[in-house]
Amino acid sequence: MNGVGRPEGQAAGGRCAYQGAPGAFSHEACLDLRPWDEPVAYETFDAALAALFAGEVHCALIPVENSTIGRVEPAATLVEQSGLVQVSDVWRPIRLALMAPHGASLRSVKTAESHPIALRQCPASLASLGIEAVEAFDTAGAARAVAEAGDPARAAVAPARAAEVYDLSILRNDLQDSSDNRTRFVLLSRPEG
């Protein structure tokens, strides 16, 4: 299996579940890989999969593996135990950006908030900047929280697109420790019958 294109005969304009806030890597994957679908955000992987089972959405795009850290948990286990059909999968490059409110600088930033999986992809980069990692429920959710706080000592680690969504300044691109940082996303649907 490779890619998450629209299967032959499938109508355009469905709904695709993802975990996270708008601007998250999973949201970005939905926009780029399923542009004909409406991306629908859920706070947890459980909630995204439950929405698929309930028929609120027709598919879900879930990250299950990362080239730097291995399995993305709890997502990988939830997918394996779900009984859902894996339609396809695709590896996507993951580029982490350090973002903060306008006027902040690398000198003013003391903490960087993000999903634990994202933080595990850039510990050396954060350490070299003297920035403390702070876990949050989601990459884009962290960006939203940093934007709302407006504190120049707080930054987020998230996709560059999140800086646009939440009106933040990017202080550093390519924060990931590995230049070949990639995540495998699986496209899931309900079983037939």
* pLDDT mean over 127-139: 95
Q: Topology of 15-94+180-189 in CATH?
A: D-Maltodextrin-Binding Protein; domain 2 (3.40.190)
Residue 4 in this model has a pLDDT that exceeds 80: no
- In 3D space, the residue among 105, 92, 109, 102 whose CA is nearest the CA of residue 24 turns out to be 92
- Catalytic site includes residue 111: no
Residue 7 in this model has a pLDDT that exceeds 50: no
Q: What are residue 84's phi and psi, to 5 degrees? A: -75, 160
Residue 10 in this model has a pLDDT that exceeds 50: no
The string of pLDDT tens digits covering residues 46-79 is 999 999 999 999 999 999 999 999 999 999 999 9
Active-site residue among 25, 45, 139, 185? 185
Active-site residue among 25, 45, 139, 183? 183
Segments of the chain assigned to CATH 3.40.190.10? 15-94+180-189, 97-172
Task: State the CATH class of domain 97-172.
Answer: alpha beta
First vs last C-alpha separation in the chain: 22
Looking at the whole model, is its pTM more than 0.75?
yes
Q: Which residue has the tokens 């955000």?
A: 41
- Catalytic site includes residue 137: no
